[in-house]
Amino acid sequence: MFQARRYQYCPTCGGPTEYRVPADDNRERATCTVCGAIHYENPLNVVGTLPVYGEQVLLCKRAIEPRLGKWTLPAGFMELGETLAEGAARETQEEAGAEIELQNLYCVMNVVRVGQVHLFYRARLLSPRFDPGPETLEARLFHEHEIPWDEIAFHTVRDTLLRFFEDRHRGEGYPLHTADIG
């Protein structure tokens, strides 16, 4: 089972924490030994898009770790104060400088081993012009046969792309997919 164990010191008072099961709970939580505050560690949401222009999909080559130099869909951590859709659109703009029309939520993937949930929306690119941000070395459109499968950064991206191409070949629409990864 994944355990982050992020809190060594209390964010409230600075005292040391211990991991123990609070009286009204069933899981270990970071509990301050000084003020008694309980700190919860919950999964992080990664939001992004699968942008399509005609028959091509947009991928971004990462300029940062992890997976520097590998290809990914534009995605990143959701911020407080935004919806899933707002976060996905923001990440697409930040990473690819792409203008999109957001479509349906397409993939929800639990990545339990790293404490994350990855959520991808389908998106229609409004233009083939991109202005990648500092986290992206290159943003480029690929036909299915051009995808650099051996250079895909993350399992969730690979699975999302595979599902998209399978759905497109079937021609029966783009349903919501869910999966547990690794």
Identify the structural domains of the chain with CATH numbers, from first to last: 1-41 (2.20.70.10), 44-180 (3.90.79.10)
Question: Per-residue confidence at 2, pLDDT binned at 50, 70, 90?
Answer: low
Question: Per-residue confidence at 142, pLDDT binned at 50, 70, 90?
Answer: very high
Q: Judge whether residue 45 has pLDDT over 80.
A: yes
Burial class (CB in 10 A: 0-12, 13-18, 19+), 10: buried
Q: Judge whether residue 78 has pLDDT over 60.
A: yes
Tell me which of 22-26, 48-52, 71-75, 94-98 is least confident.
22-26
